[in-house]
Amino acid sequence: MPIALLDRSARTFIAGHRGLVGGAVLRHFEDAGFTSLVTRSSSELDLRDASAVESFFAGERPATVVMAAAKVGGILANSTYPADFISDNLRMQVNVLDAAARHGTTHLLFLGSSCIYPKLAPQPIREDSLLTGPLEETNDAYAIAKISGVLQVQALRRQHGVHYISAMPTNLYGPGDNFHPENSHVLPGLIRRFHEAKLADAPEVVVWGTGTPLREFLHVDDLARACLFLLENYDDPAPINVGVGADLSIRELAQMVADIVGYDGALELDTTKPDGTPRKLLDVSKLHGLGWRAEIDLRDGLEQTYAWYQSQLAEGSVRAA
């Protein structure tokens, strides 16, 4: 049985609604009958600005908050701008979570990342692996920020008795992703590279690393379903993993993308580039035990995402950064 169904008419703030995750959450909540959804673009409300966030919460007083706003990027961006990743994310989280608690938000979901877990955590990674070993060096600044968010949720629960929770999604993909040639995550980056190679009739596509790291991928629409499910079925200080429970190698992923795109050239691996964590498969037994499972097959989801990418190219509106 649900802990408590959320009031669909109460004010519900989706922070980061123009991003990959926030956009999917907004769509799902609209479909689920929420009638008082509140959004702000970053130009309308800079979540790094404590006074602006305080004024927003004092005026809107949302009953429910989904904290999907974050500064995100792939290995290159994380390695190049670690100070920005830790500073921006810490400030956004502290401002939103503290203001929510001060102004009567009764339910809040903080979305973290699977990168919070140790680089060499036992696989599949259980939630209790948190803080048991060193992090992956290429994104440790971002990971520390997200770990701080998890601990802030726990502290607010202890001090104020609020029903705030945190969820750790695995690697995400889907409509609304960032396809920037340098700042994207691995999957949209592969889609763009293979698509452009196909158009240019390029003889080969270079993929970073050895191709051996194993990764798990969750469609963002599945994550959006999980967000509402958890808000109504989970109330615990411990973070909870959200994933599919299966992974594949980067080489296998690249080959799948090439097949979907229709690129028939060679796939070359640049082994001078970093691999990142060797494997990052989440243990989702806790979530499965609550009755939730991912529904979208990876190949089906990739075909949908590629079709979306092509439609955005046709409109001249592919997200560049």
Instruction: Kindly list the domain boundaries of the chain, sorted by start residue.
Output: 12-176+216-244+281-296
Specify which residues 279 forms β-bridges with: 214
pLDDT, residue 74, reads 74
- Is there a contact between 21 and 46 (Cβ–Cβ < 8 Å)? no
State the fold for domain 12-176+216-244+281-296.
Rossmann fold (3.40.50)
**Of 298, 239, 229, 228, whose CA–CA distance to 115 is shortest?**
239
> Residues with Cβ < 8 Å from 191, sequence gap 6 or more?
179, 257, 261, 302, 305, 306, 309
Specify which residues 241 forms β-bridges with: 168
* Binding site residue list for substrate: 193, 208, 215, 275
Active site residue 81: no
pLDDT, residue 184, reads 73
Looking up tokens 């001090």 gives 159
Question: What are the CA-CA distances from residue 295 to residues 90, 222, 232, 283 (Å)?
Answer: 32, 7, 19, 17
Rounded distance between C-alpha atoms, residue 297 and residue 217, angstroms: 10
Looking up tokens 């994380």 gives 78
pLDDT, residue 107, reads 98
Rounded distance between C-alpha atoms, residue 188 and residue 175, angstroms: 10
> Residues with Cβ < 8 Å from 149, sequence gap 6 or more?
67, 89, 93, 97, 110, 112, 166
pLDDT, residue 319, reads 55
pLDDT, residue 305, reads 97
Looking up tokens 């919460």 gives 57
pLDDT, residue 85, reads 96
What does the angle CA 306 – CA 259 – CA 321 come to, to the nearest 5 degrees? 35
pLDDT, residue 321, reads 42
In degrees rounded to 5, what are phi and psi of residue 187?
-70, -50
Splitting the chain (321 residues) into consecutive groups of 10 residues, what average pLDDT does each group show? 84 97 98 98 98 98 98 82 96 98 98 94 97 92 97 98 97 90 80 96 94 96 98 98 97 97 96 84 98 98 96 78 42
Angle between helix 20-31 and 220-233 (nearest 10): 60
Helix (H) or strand (E) holding 15: strand 12-15
pLDDT, residue 279, reads 85
Query: What is the pairing mode between strands 240-242 and 279-280?
Result: unpaired
Rounded distance between C-alpha atoms, residue 70 and residue 18, angstroms: 11
- Active-site residue identified among 117, 142, 164, 309: 142
pLDDT, residue 138, reads 86
> Tens digits of per-residue pLDDT, 22-45?
999 999 999 999 999 999 999 999
| Full-model pTM | 0.94
